[in-house]
A and B are shown apart, each in its own frame.
Chain A
Amino acid sequence: MLMHDTALLFQRYARQTLRSKFQMLFGALMPLLYLLFFGPLLTDMPLGARGDSWQVLVPGLLLQLSLFGASFSGFALIMENNWGVVERLRATPVSRPALLLGRLLRDAALFVAQSVLLVLAALVMGLRAPLAGILLGFAFVALLTCALASLSYALALKIDTPQSFGPTVNALAMPSMLLSGLMLPMALAPNWLDVLSHFTPFRYLVDAVRDAYVGMYATSTMLYGALVAVGFAALAVTIGTRAYRSAP
C-alpha cells in the first residue's frame, strides 16, 4: 500500500519534472556560478582544512544546492493545494505518508542528479576526490533534501498567504547557509561564530562531506554528520507526514 502508492506518486511528479527542462537545470545554476566564478579565488588561499580548495568548496556547494533548492519545494505544493489536487488525493484511500514520500523521492532524485552535474563540472575545474567520498556526498545531499523538502511542504500546507512563503524560506535559508560554513570552512571563524554554527544541523553535514572528499570515512565528524543527517531527516519527515494528515 505505502510502497505502491509512493511509487505511483513518484512517477507522477518525476514525469512533471522531466517535462520541465527549466526546473531540471535551473536549480544547478547558482552553485555552478559559484563553482566557476568563486572557486578559482580560493585555489591559493589557506583554508585551514585538509585537501585542496576544491575539496573544501565542492562539498559546500552540494549542500547549498540542496539547501536552496529543497527549501523551496513547497512552492509547487502551494499551487497543487490551490488547484484542489491535495484535497482530491486525500479523499481517496491513498496512504497518507505516500503523499509526502512520492514527492520526496522525486526531490531527492532531482537534486542528486543536479549534484552529479555539479561534480562533473568541478572535476573539469580541477577537483580530485575519491569515488567513495563523492558517492557519500550524494547520500548526504539526498538526506538533506528529504529533510528540507519535508519541512518546506509542511510550511506550504500551513501557510495562509502564498506571498509570504518565499520571504519566510529565504529568511531561514540565508542565515543557515552563512552559519554552516558552506562557502568557507568555519575553521577560519572566530570562536563565537564557530560555536554558533554548531547550532545548525548543516554544519555537521558539511564537515562530514568534507571529510569524505579527502577520503576520511572513520572519523567522529563523519559519525556526527551521519547521525545529524538521519535524525534531522526522520524528524522532518514526521512533521511533513503530520501536516499531510491534518491538512485543513
Chain B
Amino acid sequence: MPIISTAGLARTFTTKAGSVEAVRGIDLTVSAGEILGFLGPNGAGKTTTLRMLTTLLAPTGGAATVAGFDLRKDPAAVRRKIGYVAQSGGVDPQETLRDELVLQGRLHGRSRADAESRTAELAAELGLTELLDRRTAALSGGQRRRMDIALGLIHRPEVLFLDEPTTGLDPGSRADLWRLVRALRDTYGTTVFLTTHYLDEADALADRIVVVDKGVVAADGTPAALKQRYAGSPEASLQDAFLAITGRAPAPVDATPVAI
C-alpha cells in the first residue's frame, strides 16, 4: 500500500493571457518509509505538484491519496498526517522558537503540556535547545533550517515534504541535514518527499528519483537505474542522466556544475 499515490494530478492556472497548464498530469507512487527525490528544471511543475500534495493548492484534475486520505475530498485529514517545510521556511522573526513550536503543536491538536514537552524533545534532537528562548531573527542559516524542519515534525507526521531544504546552506549544515533526513527515516520510518536542484544531494539521499518536465513525469527509478538507462552506465553521473531526460545537451566533460 503506497503512502502517496496520484493519478493524472493536474493544475491549470487561469490568467489574463489565457490558461496555463502548470501540471498536466502526474502519476506517481511513494512507498511508506521511502526517501523520494523530486527533480525537474525550473518551471517543470515541481512546486505546483508539491503544493497540491500538501493541500495548499487545489488540483484542477486527477486524483491523489496522501497518508490514506483522499487529497481532494478530505484535505483536512491529510494535513494531520503530513509535515510541510517550504523553501522560504515560515517563522515570524519577532517570535521565539519556543512560542512558534508550541503554537504549531497546539494547532495540531496537542495540549499545552504535550506541545511543550514535544518542543523540548525536538529541540534536543535538532540541537536547538540553547536557542529556544531567542527570537527566530537571531538564527543562522543552518539553525533556521533546523527550526523550519522542527515545525514540520512537531506532530510526528507520517510524510514530511521538504521543498529545496538545502538551498543556501553551507556544506556543514547541508551534511547535517542529510544525516537528519536519513535518521528520520531510519528511526521513525518517516516518508520523506524532497525537491532539490542539487543532483549530488538527490544521488546521495534519495532511494528513488522522479523527474518531472513540462508538467508530467519524465523518468522514475533508483539513481542507479536512471544513470544506467539514460546515461549508459550505473557509474555515470546523475547530471548526464538528468540532462538526457529533460532533453538538454550534456555538459562538456571538463565542466561539471553540481547544481542545475
Using C-beta atoms within 8 Å of the partner chain, give the interface range for chain B.
20 to 34
Chain A: interface secondary structure? helix
Of A85, A91, A94, which one neighbours B56 at CB under 8 angstroms? A91
Instruction: Say whether B54 contacts A92, CB under 8 Å.
Output: no
Give bound CA distance, A94 to B75, whole Å.
12
Rounded to whole Å, the gap between the CB of B19 and the closest CB of chain A is 16
B174 part of interface (Cβ distance < 8 Å) = no
B193 part of interface (Cβ distance < 8 Å) = no
Give bound CA distance, A92 to B153, whole Å.
11
Residues of B within 8 A of A89 (CB): 90, 107
B73 part of interface (Cβ distance < 8 Å) = no
B43 part of interface (Cβ distance < 8 Å) = no
B109 part of interface (Cβ distance < 8 Å) = yes
Given A83-B91, A84-B89: A93 and B103 interface contact (C-beta under 8 Å): no
A21 part of interface (Cβ distance < 8 Å) = no
Rounded to whole Å, the gap between the CB of B58 and the closest CB of chain A is 8
Residues of A within 8 A of B88 (CB): 83-84
Rounded to whole Å, the gap between the CB of B239 and the closest CB of chain A is 30
Instruction: Say whether A87 contacts B92, CB under 8 Å.
Output: no
Instruction: Say whether A80 contacts B56, CB under 8 Å.
Output: no
A8 part of interface (Cβ distance < 8 Å) = yes
Number of A residues with CB within 8 Å of any CB on chain B? 20
Instruction: Say whether A94 contacts B107, CB under 8 Å.
Output: yes
How many residue pairs link A and B with beta carbons under 8 A? The number is 60
Instruction: Say whether B108 contacts A93, CB under 8 Å.
Output: yes
Could you give, for residues 6-40 of chain A, a 1 whenever the CB lies within 8 Å of some chain B CB and a 0 otherwise? Answer: 00100010011001000000000000000000000
Give bound CA distance, A16 to B54, whole Å.
28
What is the chain B residue whose CB lies nearest that of A8? Answer: B106
Give bound CA distance, A90 to B56, whole Å.
7
Residues of B within 8 A of A (CB): 54-58, 76, 79-80, 82, 84, 86, 88-95, 99, 103-104, 106-109, 151
Can you name 11 A-B residue pairings with CB atoms under 8 Å?
A15-B99, A16-B95, A19-B94, A85-B90, A85-B91, A87-B86, A88-B151, A91-B56, A91-B82, A91-B84, A93-B79
Contacts A84-B90, A91-B54 aside, 11 further interface pairs with beta carbons under 8 A come to: A8-B107, A16-B95, A83-B88, A83-B89, A84-B88, A85-B91, A88-B104, A88-B151, A90-B56, A91-B79, A93-B80
